[in-house]
Structure 1
Amino acid sequence: MFQDKTRSIYIDGKWLDVNQEKTYAIYNPATLEKLTTVAYGGVTETEAAIEAAEKAFTSWSSLTGRERSKVLYRAAELMAQDADRLGKILTLEQGKPIKEAIGEVKGAAQFLLWYAEEASRAYGEWIPSSVSTKRLLVIPKPIGVVGAITPWNFPSSMITRKLAPALAAGCTVVLKPSPETPLSAIEIVKIFEKAGMPNGVVNMVTGDAKAIGKTLLSHKAVKLITFTGSTPVGKYLMREASDQLKRVSLELGGHAPLIVFEDADIDKATSLALKSKFRNNGQTCICANRLYVDESIHEPFTAMLKDKVEQLVIGNGLDQHTDLGPLINQAACDKVQLQLDDAIQKGAKIVTGGYELTDKLKGYFYPPTVISQVTDDMLVMNEETFGPLFPIQTFTDETEVIHKANDTDYGLAAYIFTENTSRTLRVVEQLEYGIVGVNDVFPATPEAPFGGIKQSGNSKEGGHHGMEEFLEYTFVSIGMD
């Protein structure tokens, strides 16, 4: 499916040959087999990509929104048509089950479609003046060249969530995909090519993450960095960008609480809690990371959850029957084990899982694990896991559980299960999170804003809010005779 060496640097409409002395290998995390080798770009390649984007900005930004939308419409169509093949590539490099991978690709296409529609809706304002001899206007303008840094856990949808609004707004882009998952990014850039994207509007550099990132931060032509990833890296980008007052759009880590009240539908709550926690084997920033269950329903809830977890199938993501694929690397497995060991040492009990996988699986697999008798001092209750470890803690008081849910520096997503409308509104208003799901654990959608508060981010992706990140506004005051 892949050549031994794959062109992965795209600048000004050209795929560059792989420098034989500067390459790195991409492996399948489920089998540890080498898939291909890609280019290891750095400062030189990034500077060339920025210069190409800067050159293309004038012509791209001068097009009407309707003209830009034609390319995005076509790209959305091509991606949706090719979802099965693109999903297989995603599974090979990232590991998630093929059904999830195909779903991600289709979702990525939906972001292209949404912002194709939004491209014509960057509205300005006519402000009624308090002075009769003035007319006041506000004009939206694309911010300029954008550096987009995307993660490995959603290597297709995270790219289109950033590039689609940026391109719709009239910006040009230099993309730095995750070093672990460049192959999906390559395919997306090829889709833009086929869709008729002008040269230089979209550029991509793979390789030395630090060198590429520092160049994007230091180059004056780059007006905005949009990043999805860990909170520590987000803080670094914000610090470095401050030298130029460069705008930084951050979607960072989460530590989502999931609260199950006594009136919840237990069957629905266990099924959705499982789907939230173990989607992509726990490697999502909005997956439930702390499970709080009312003490009165704790035993039946835990028993039902245990039964459903033990029915999950672990294996190679290309197998249609697989529910859980591998983690991305050994460090991810080690982190899960560290949190589990810490919890057990402090008194937690294993409900299911927590054992070494001894079958024929060769990759970075870790079993879905549920633990009970969890206390607040455990690492798993204070740090994002990004893996299949699910801690259950009981509660008896609504005020108490809301306090515990909010007692974190993170503020990305939270979930509650209840059939009580008054409680729903009361709790939602008190939860300190950018996203709250009520009897729903899949809140992300192209038409709505996605993003956190506190140390989980400072921006929104999706909806009309997502395009605003890539616009700046010029106030025009016109004096009249």
Structure 2
Amino acid sequence: MTTDTTAYDLFIDGEFVASDEDERIDVEYPYDGTTWATVPSGTTADVDRAVDAARRAFADETWAELLPSERAAVLEDVADAIDEHADELAELETRQNGKLIREMSSQMGGLGEWFRYYAGQCRTLEGRTIPAESKDGQLFTHVKKEPYGVVGAVTPWNSPLLLTVFKLAPALAAGCTFVHKPSSYTPVSALRFAEILHEEGGLPAGVYNVVTGAGSVVGDALVNHDDIDKVAFTGSTEVGRRISADAGESLIPASLELGGKSPNIIFPSADLDNATNGVIKGIFAATGQTCLAGSRVFVHEEIADEFVDRFVERATDIDLGDPMDPETEMGPVAFRDQWETDVSYIETGVEEGATLEFGGDQPDDLPGECFLQPTILTDVENDMTVAQEEIFGPVASVLTFSDEAEVLELANDSQFGLAAGIWTEEMRQAHRVADALEAGTIWVNEYRTLSFNAPFGGYKDSGLGRENGLEGLEAYLQEKTVWFDLSGTVDDPFKLG
């Protein structure tokens, strides 16, 4: 279905510019399938132009050589500009991927805080001195931190701007410049975001560039570009492996935030009202389309029946509908291919012995082709496909356990290690379990909360590196060691040390 559409161009060197070719990509509203925007299907030549602009902005002292206080001031202005346009950006996000407007409004309302936090880091970033261990101490040695240079970033469709800012804010604070390839499903918000950051936030031309297009063309060209100094990626583990291999071939660092199959563990002492809310939040909020979704629900066998009854009762009451309506509680899957993937996993789960406790169908009373009921599978074993592979949809697998040792073994028996939830009123148990779980983020009696000042990333196949917090800034800095001789005499040239 097509309605009035807005045609966007690429954003390169501080302005909108046409692509090297005429081919374009439609952007649809998942709620009803209407096309509301088009963007260029970029080319390798477009990537070259964007990287050249970012390199000039980095090399000609436009950005990296600003005083820390000057760079911080720009980031604070950027934060103010984002605040002023939060409602507009939230609507763009929802129209692209069908996430709830109330969730996107909350995300966009807090997005400026990432830039304010890293503006503060600009002013406090320091190096260090190292005591001399040779020449009788007559050496002065210091370590300074410098930006890598031009960053190539590839981001997904599920939380487009938030996951972009996880990379962009610390990269800019470090003094890097940025070329961004957003998902072809959600490219519009990035283009508008770049415009706001430059025109109203005062970001110099060339510091943040956006090239839309296919991952196989624009993404590959960006990741493999000879003039990219660092790669940052959020997406599937499969694609992350390829990007890591490409970065390794180029000998440049890569930050990878990848897939997840996170356990949400409910012990007998848990407050079941809170635990049920937390499980709903972990899997059905955002229609399950989040890398940290608590898609493996482990429930102690003593309370399993009671919990499942509560879980199903709550699932039946979830209000599906137009994500632009603030009363809607769950929107559509972002696009039809993902819907078909989700349904295929449900069918596989039943074929392997799981029970379809609730859901699994497309409601008849809603438009489009992308709605899927919140789905609960019980009688799931940990070696089933639905318990091991990332589904990326509103599908919860419920498993039972008998004791703490068993659930730790089951929870850690996964290729992934992004996040985990623990529901218990016994705090000693909470500490023991949190220490033993193989995951980068652990929530106790809560789920799916993040902050600009807390590092986020995964163990095992869930990625490499950390975003947010001081660790997120360090990812865009490299160390330089500088030695000064204070003795006035050069040692034996054939003796090292």
The TM tier, using the shorter chain, reads over 0.9
| Mapped pair 1:87 → 2:86 | no
Matched, 1:243 2:244: no
Deviation for aligned residue 1:5:
4.3
Quick check: 1:8–1:204 contact (8 Å CA) kept in 2? no
Partner of 2:125: 122
Residues in 2 aligned to 1:78 and 1:310: alpha-carbon distance in whole angstroms: 40
CA distance in 1, matches of 2:100, 2:449: 20
- The equivalent of 2:28 in structure 1 is 27
State the 1:107 CA deviation. Answer: 3.1
Match of 2:456 among 450, 461, 474: 450
1:13-50 residue CA offsets vs partner (Å, 9 max, x unmatched): 12113677221111111110011111111100100110
Partner of 2:494 in structure 1? Answer: none
Q: Give the counterpart letter for 2:354 in structure 1.
A: A
**What SS does the aligned partner of 1:464 have?**
helix
Contact map agreement 2:184 2:212 (CA 8 A) in 1 = yes
CA distance in 2, matches of 1:376, 1:7: 46
Task: Give structure 1 stretches of 5+ with no counterpart.
Answer: none
Q: In the TM superposition, what is the alpha-carbon distance from 1:360 to its structure 2 partner?
A: 3.5
Give the equivalent residue in structure 2 for 1:142. Answer: 147
Please give the secondary structure, in 1, of the residue aligned with 2:244: helix
Q: How far does residue 119 in structure 1 lie from its aligned partner after superposition?
A: 1.7
1:31-430 equivalences under 5 Å are 31-58=32-59, 59=61, 60-131=63-134, 132-193=137-198, 194-430=200-436
Distance in 2 between the 1:221 and 1:12 partners? 16
TM-score (ref. length: structure 1): 0.97
Counterpart CA distance in 2 for 1:362 and 1:212 is 29
What secondary structure does 1:129 align onto? coil
Q: Deviations over 1:422-459 (max 9, x none)?
A: 11111111111111111110231101000001111111
1:224: Cα distance to partner? 0.4
SS at match of 2:464: coil
Find the residue that maps to 2:303 and give its secondary structure. helix
Give the Å deviation of 1:3.
Answer: 7.2
Equivalent residue number for residue 491 of structure 2: none
Gap regions ≥5 residues in structure 2: 488-497
Shift of 1:323: 0.7
SS of the residue corresponding to residue 216 of structure 1 reads helix
Moved more, 334-343 or 54-63: 334-343
Aligned 8 A contact 2:141 2:483 in 1: yes
- Secondary structure of 1:222's counterpart equals coil
Q: What is the alpha-carbon distance in structure 1 between the residues aligned to residue 255 and residue 212 of structure 2?
A: 21
One-letter amino acid of the counterpart of residue 18, structure 2: D
TM-superposed deviation, 1:186: 1.4
Query: Do the aligned residues in 2 keep the contact of 1:65 with 1:169 (CA within 8 Å)?
Result: no
Moved more, 370-379 or 445-454: 370-379
Structure 1 residue 244, shift from structure 2 partner? 1.8
State the Cα distance separating 1:96 from its structure 2 match: 0.7
Instruction: Provide the rounded CA distance (Å) in 2 between the counterparts of 1:26 and 1:212.
Output: 17
Secondary structure at the counterpart of residue 166 of structure 2 = helix
Determine the C-alpha separation between the residues in 2 that align with 1:338 and 1:22. Answer: 32
2:446 to 437, 440, 451: 440
CA apart distance, 1:250: 0.4
The alignment covers a number of residue pairs equal to 480
1:316: Cα distance to partner? 1.3
SS across alignment from 1:36: strand
Distance in 2 between the 1:404 and 1:428 partners? 14
The superposition leaves residues 285-338 of structure 1 with CA deviations (integer Å, 9 ceiling, x where unpaired) of: 001010000011111111111111111111110112111111111121112211
- Match of 1:394, as an amino acid? T
**2:19·2:43 contact (CA, 8 Å) conserved in 1?**
no
Secondary structure of the structure 1 residue equivalent to 2:376: strand
The CA deviation at 1:213 is 2.1
Match of 2:213, SS? coil
Q: Distance in 1 between matches of 2:175 and 2:100?
A: 35
What's the CA shift for 1:108? 2.3
Q: CA deviation at 1:390?
A: 0.7
1-structure distance, mates of 2:175, 2:190:
21
Q: Distance in 1 between matches of 2:424 and 2:84?
A: 39
Partner secondary structure for residue 45 of structure 2: helix
C-alpha deviations, 1:176-211, integer Å up to 9, x for none? 111100111112101211111111111110013222
- CA distance in 2: counterparts of 1:62 and 1:454, whole angstroms: 37
Counterpart secondary structure, 1:120? helix
Structure 1 residue 121 displacement after superposition: 2.6
State whether structure 2 residue 467 is matched by structure 1 residue 461.
Answer: yes
Q: Distance in 1 between matches of 2:325 and 2:91?
A: 11
* 8 Å CA contact retained: 2:261, 2:294: yes
- Partner amino acid, structure 1, of 2:40: A
SS at match of 1:213: helix
For 2:179 and 2:30, locate their aligned partners in 1 and report how far apart those are by CA, in whole Å: 27
Render the CA deviation track for 1:55-107: whole Å, top value 9, x for unaligned. 11031111122111112111111212222221111111110111011112123
Residue identity matched to 2:125: A
